[in-house]
């Protein structure tokens, strides 16, 4: 029989230490559990401070007793290795466990047990818990803003269609795989634009949109297939000429009118809002900020001094100011810079402002990727006789973009999280709608529910995005 030394448990008398320890730990957890779930304090006969610290003390001794190296029990070993390596760790682990046990009942009762969801007025919310009725009644407003109720199918339909079109890439056969980039970069955004432009708004809301712009865009796309010898001259001359010809010479007013779908009711952008506006703004800013950022990053590394310093200036300017002042600028200062008869919708101004702002961040991220590529890649591409654009499109950018997927994903996440700021110009996406609903006299005092609801939504969206970017990163990871 070995002597029991409680200060240094070892493998002799293993069972004694183990049982004593487990009993002490269970006792301490049991005390806290009873206290928090059933509000019973079974150690209340002790003086205040001692009864408060008793569970901690018991658990601490228990964890100390079961800390036996190489005990042979797998479970015990993994506990010792993970939460019980030394006294300090044991103490912290205990505190975390107790805090979790302590905070479960109030959270549960607020979220579920004492919460109300039935009924359709404030009067049903009498309990101490959350009033989910408030969310239920205001759900449409939080999702669609002030968009008229009978027209909301248009938003739903557009989003479903766009989501479907967005997943086409997964079903593409090998034959069409090579066109996917073109589809996602050019075709898909245009389709999305038409959906939002004609379907959700129902008319020429954004600016005096004419077929000249469409023709110019199409001519730019065609330009990529022009032989490289004439490409530069083509890009300089053709799109602008087409636009000017179509807009001012051939057609003028008639085609603007054609842009309207008469059967759909026109909904002005001021009425858009809620989560759908969050999606619309983030979607367009994502689409626009990426190419702008790409060109800025290439410009910053360019050999042409004018382009280089222009790019540096743009990047440093947008990165140096807070987004809220940019939005202020777009709402109060920008109209001063336009002719009096020219009006740009505030949603468009906001999208332009946020795109330029985030493009600067994207540019810096991509520059990081470009700098990380070894010089050999450039030299090899040049030695094959590739020109600047061919080299970048075929050799440099695919590798550089692969490297910076996490950085770009972080920038996109930041963009989604920045969209609530558009309240500055009076557009109410979900957070703005929450603030509006909160001040409604019939529904005072439910700020907490609203913010928790929005937080959960944003958390789901952003967490899913970050996990997806992690998957992409793993998928495209190549050993160098």
Partner 1 sequence: MNIKKILPQLLTLLVVILIFGFFSYNAQVNMENRGITFGYGFLSQESSFDVQFSLIEYDGSHSYFRAYLVGLLNTILVSVIGIIFATIIGVVVGIARLSNNYLINKTAAVYVEFFRNIPLLLQIFFWYFAALRALPLPQDTEPMFGVFFLTIKGFFVPAFVWNNLDVFIYSLIAALISIIFVRIYARKKQENEGIQTPVLSISIGILIILPILSFLFGGVDASVEVPVIKQLSQTGFTYEGGIKLPPELISLALALSLYTATFIAECVRAGVQGVSKGQKEAAASIGLTPNQVLKLVVMPQALRIIIPPTTNQYLNLTKNSSLAAAIAYPDLVLVFAGTALMQTGRAIEIVSITMLTYLSLSISISILMNWYNKKIAIKEK
Q: Which of 41, 265, 316, 379 binds partner 1 (CB under 8 A)?
A: 316
Q: Does 110 bind partner 1 (CB under 8 A)?
A: no
Q: Which of 238, 329, 386, 425 binds partner 1 (CB under 8 A)?
A: 329
Interface residues for partner 1 in 165-224 (CB under 8 A)? Answer: none
Q: Looking at beta carbons only, is 13 or 410 nearer to partner 1?
A: 410
Q: Which of 106, 127, 322, 426 binds partner 1 (CB under 8 A)?
A: 322
Q: Does 248 bind partner 1 (CB under 8 A)?
A: no
Taking contact as CB under 8 A, which single stretch among the options 8-16, 30-38, 90-98, 209-217 is the one that binds partner 1?
A: 90-98
| Nearest Cα residue to 296 out of 277, 309, 283 | 309
Asked if 111 and 129 touch (Cβ cutoff 8 Å), the reply is yes
Compose the 251-270 pattern: x for residues touching partner 1 by CB under 8 A, - for all others. --------------------
Q: Which of 107, 157, 237, 448 binds partner 1 (CB under 8 A)?
A: 448
Q: Which of 120, 123, 257, 340 binds partner 1 (CB under 8 A)?
A: 340
Interface residues for partner 1 in 450-469 (CB under 8 A)? Answer: 451-452, 454-455, 458-459, 462-463, 466
| Nearest Cα residue to 274 out of 161, 447, 138, 164 | 138
- SS3 for 115-169 is CECCCCCHHHCCCCCCEHHHHHHHHHHHHHCCCCHHHHHHHHHHHHHHHHHHCHH
Q: For the residues of 341-386, what is the DSSP string, one character each?
A: T----HHHHHHHHHHHHHHHHHHHHHHHHHHHS-HHHHHHHHHTT-
**Distances, alpha carbon 314 to alpha carbons 350, 357, 410, in Å:** 18, 9, 21
Q: Does 232 bind partner 1 (CB under 8 A)?
A: yes
Total residues at interface with partner 1 (CB under 8 A): 58
Q: Does 160 bind partner 1 (CB under 8 A)?
A: no
Q: Does 339 bind partner 1 (CB under 8 A)?
A: yes
For the CB of residue 182, give the shortest distance to partner 1 in the complex, in Å.
24
Identify the burial level of 400 via C-beta atoms within 10 angstroms of its C-beta, where 0-12 means exposed, 13-18 middle and 19 or more buried. Answer: buried
Q: Does 341 bind partner 1 (CB under 8 A)?
A: no
Rounded Cα distance, 56 and 91, in Å: 8
Sequence-distant (≥ 6) Cβ neighbours of residue 152 within 8 angstroms:
140, 144
Q: Does 53 bind partner 1 (CB under 8 A)?
A: no
Q: Does 89 bind partner 1 (CB under 8 A)?
A: yes
Q: Where are the alpha helices (DSSP H) in 195-263?
A: 211-223, 228-244, 253-258
In sequence order, the β-bridge partners of residue 273 are: 428
Q: Looking at beta carbons only, is 92 or 245 nearer to partner 1?
A: 92
User: 3-state DSSP call for residue 469?
Assistant: helix
User: What does the buried/exposed string (b/e) look like for 130-139 if buried means 16 or more CB atoms within 10 Å of the residue's CB?
Assistant: bbbbbbebbe
Residues near partner 1, by CB under 8 A: 81-83, 85, 89, 92-93, 96-97, 232, 236, 304-307, 310, 316-317, 319-325, 328-329, 332-333, 336-340, 413, 416-421, 423-424, 431, 434-435, 438, 447-448, 451-452, 454-455, 458-459, 462-463, 466
């Amino acid at each position: 029989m070995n002597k029991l030394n409680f200060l240094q448990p070892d493998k002799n008398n293993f069972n004694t230490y183990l049982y004593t320890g487990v009993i002490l730990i269970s006792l301490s957890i049991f005390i806290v559990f009873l206290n928090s779930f059933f509000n019973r304090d079974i150690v209340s006969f002790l003086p205040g401070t001692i009864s408060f610290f008793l569970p901690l003390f018991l658990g601490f001794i228990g964890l100390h007793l079961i800390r036996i190296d190489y005990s042979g029990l797998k479970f015990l070993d993994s506990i010792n290795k993970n939460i019980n390596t030394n006294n300090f760790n044991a103490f912290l682990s205990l505190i975390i466990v107790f805090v979790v046990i302590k905070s479960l009942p109030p959270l549960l009762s607020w979220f579920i047990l004492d919460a109300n969801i039935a009924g359709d007025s404030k009067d049903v919310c009498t309990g101490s818990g959350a009033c989910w009725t408030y969310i239920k009644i205001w759900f449409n407003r939080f999702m669609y803003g002030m968009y008229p109720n009978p027209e909301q199918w248009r938003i739903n339909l557009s989003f479903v269609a766009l989501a479907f079109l967005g997943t086409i890439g997964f079903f593409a056969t090998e034959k069409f795989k090579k066109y996917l980039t073109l589809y996602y970069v050019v075709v898909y955004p245009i389709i999305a634009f038409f959906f939002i432009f004609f379907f959700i708004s129902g008319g020429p809301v954004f600016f005096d949109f004419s077929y000249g712009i469409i023709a110019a865009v199409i001519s730019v796309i065609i330009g990529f297939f022009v032989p490289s010898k004439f490409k530069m001259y083509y890009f300089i001359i053709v799109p602008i000429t087409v636009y000017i010809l179509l807009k001012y010479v051939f057609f003028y007013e008639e085609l603007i009118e054609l842009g309207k779908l008469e059967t759909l009711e026109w909904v002005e952008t001021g009425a858009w809002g809620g989560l759908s506006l969050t999606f619309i703004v983030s979607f367009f800013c994502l689409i626009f900020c990426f190419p702008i950022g790409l060109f800025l990053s290439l410009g910053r590394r360019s050999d042409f001094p004018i382009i280089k310093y222009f790019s540096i200036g743009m990047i440093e300017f947008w990165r140096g100011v807070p987004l809220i002042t940019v939005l202020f600028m777009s709402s109060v200062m920008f109209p001063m810079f336009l002719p009096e008869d020219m009006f740009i919708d505030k949603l468009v101004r906001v999208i332009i402002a946020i795109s330029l702002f985030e493009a600067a961040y994207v540019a810096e991220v991509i520059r990081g990727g470009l700098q990380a590529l070894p010089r050999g890649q450039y030299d090899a591409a040049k030695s094959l006789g590739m020109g600047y654009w061919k080299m970048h499109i075929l050799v440099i950018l695919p590798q550089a973009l692969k490297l910076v997927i996490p950085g770009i994903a972080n920038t996109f996440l930041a963009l989604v999280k920045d969209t609530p700021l558009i309240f500055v110009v009076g557009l109410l996406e979900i957070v703005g709608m929450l603030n509006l609903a909160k001040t409604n006299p019939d529904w005072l005092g439910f700020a907490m529910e609203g913010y928790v609801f929005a937080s959960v939504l944003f958390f789901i969206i952003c967490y899913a995005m970050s996990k997806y970017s992690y998957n992409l990163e793993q998928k495209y990871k190549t050993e160098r």
